[in-house]
Amino acid sequence: MPVSIKQVAEKAKVSQSTVSVVFNNRTREIGISEKTRKHVLATAKELNYIPSFYARHISRKSTFTIGMIVRDVMRPTTAMVVDGVKSEATKDKYQIILGISSFDPEQERGYIKSFLSRRVDGLIVIPVASKETIKEVEELSSRGFPLVACKQAFMANVDSVIHDVEFGTYLAAKHLLELGHRRIACVYTDFSGPSAMDKYNGYRRAMQEYGFDSMSKELLITIDNNSKQEYGKIAGQKILAMDTLPDAVLFVNDEMASGAMNVLMDAGVRVPDDMSLIGFDGIIPADIFRVPLTTVRSPHYKIGQTAVKILMKKIEAAKENPDNQQEKQASPRQSIKLAPELIIRESTAPRK
């Protein structure tokens, strides 16, 4: 159950009105000491109390702003989601305020509080998969604040719009299997988040359908996510170091596939004659690659648009019936998965 303002007041041994004054930033106006303000805030943090900013939104006119928190802006996939959010939001005269968490849960939670204090009408979050963030957004959503998580799987009980990455890698692996490839390597950055596991599960499902109940550990190649721009090069080097080269390789994203392709071809590997390569995301133009890359195109732009559509419905419903929000939160969450598309180009071919 959400922590109430009464519980914070009792724990801090102050009146409820004092707690309210602190969270309305009126301590100087009312004459409450800095010591008391800090004590109330510390108590609220200890109890994981999130003030009902939403009630204040309802009592005032809409700000026509949406807060959006992303992990980074360097990835083209994130930029496409943001672009989709912006295009859909502007149709309803909304502006987007962007916060970049840099994969830091503390910064992420700081943005949440900052956006709430600025009275945004709703939040869209591409979240860091941390226990702290999960707890924060679930608490906020349970209090009736319009919030949607998007892009990748997020283990929180909130509305979400994601791309079906498991189905995407299933399509990729099945395509390679249908071409006659059997020794298929998979290259990932890490398994720290649900998205990476979903990609592995899609690969595994396709392999099992073709009778490979247990996959060789040698064919599962992991790359440190901190390698960033170098991980394609590192992936290529790891593939070349294998005792027996694979027939085909499935990469976690197009950038990694591009870097690995250069390393492999420089070493004399012919793509696709010697080895088929397939990427994921579908964000890089085909003519950028030395051999146009077969890839799984994810609907990132549509993810952004769909997230806004869901959020707008939540905002409007909350405005129409603000007193019934907590009761509504008991209903099942929406979890929408948008299907990716296999784009077949010249980097994959039948096994010779």
Q: Is the pLDDT of residue 129 over 80?
A: no
Residue at 175: amino acid letter: H
Does the pLDDT of residue 178 top 80, yes or no? yes
Between 279 and 61, name the one with better pLDDT.
279
User: In whole angstroms, what is the distance from residue 239 CA to residue 254 CA?
Assistant: 16
Average pLDDT of the residues of the chain: 86
Compute the average pLDDT of residues 256-268.
95
Q: What mean pLDDT do residues 215-224 have?
A: 84
pTM above 0.85, yes or no: no
In the chain, the percentage of residues whose pLDDT exceeds 70 is 89
**Given pLDDT bands bounded at 50, 70 and 90, which one contains residue 227?**
low
Give the closest residue to 236 by CA, choosing from 217, 216, 221, 218: 221
φ and ψ at residue 329, rounded to 5 degrees:
-70, -10
Q: Which residues of 304-329 are buried (b: 16+ CB within 10 A; e: fewer)?
A: bbbbbbbbbebbeebeeeeeebeeeb
What is the structure's pLDDT at 326? 45
- Of the pLDDT bands very low, low, confident and very high (cuts 50, 70, 90), residue 275 is very high
Give whole-number Cα distances, 19 to 29, 58, 139, 297, 315, in Å. Answer: 14, 20, 19, 50, 27
Q: Supply the pLDDT for residue 16.
A: 86
What are the structural domains, with CATH classification, of the chain? Answer: 1-49 (1.10.260.40), 60-162+302-338 (3.40.50.2300), 165-298 (3.40.50.2300)
What's the order of all strands across the beta sheet hosting 122-125?
95-100, 65-70, 122-125, 147-151, 160-163, 335-338
Question: Is the pLDDT reported for residue 106 higher than 90?
Answer: no
pLDDT in tens, 156-166: 788 999 999 99
Residue type, 144: G
Give dist(CA 160, CA 93) in Å, integer: 23
Of 3-17, 161-175, 190-204, 249-263, the range with the lowest mean pLDDT is 190-204
* Count of other CB atoms within 10 angstroms of residue 191: 13
What SS3 class is residue 180?
coil
The yes-or-no verdict on residue 232 having pLDDT over 70 is yes
Which range has the top average pLDDT, 47-51, 104-108, 296-300, 313-317?
Answer: 296-300
DSSP string of 87-149, one letter each residue: HHHHHTT-EEEEEE-TT-HHHHHHHHHHHHHTT-SEEEE-----HHHHHHHHHHHHTT--EEE
- The string of pLDDT tens digits covering residues 37-94 is 899 988 988 887 766 554 454 445 678 999 999 988 888 889 999 999 999 999 989 9
Task: Report the alpha-carbon distance of residue 298 to residue 167 in Å, rounded.
Answer: 11
The pLDDT of residue 116 is 86
Band of the pLDDT at 325, cuts 50, 70, 90? very low
The rounded Cα 232 to chain-centroid distance in angstroms is 22
Mean pLDDT of 238-243: 95
Q: What is the separation of C-alpha 350 from the centre of its chain, rounded to a whole number of angstroms?
A: 35
C-alpha dist (Å) from residue 119 to 53, 95, 96: 7, 13, 13
| Confidence band, pLDDT 50/70/90 cuts, at residue 22 | confident
Considering Cα of 287, then 288, then 289, then 294, what sign does the dihedral take?
A: negative
Whether 331 has a pLDDT exceeding 70, the answer reads no
Q: Which residue carries 């990427």 as its tokens?
A: 279
Measured distance CA(50)–CA(46) in Å, rounded: 11
Residue the block writes with tokens 């990469």: 251
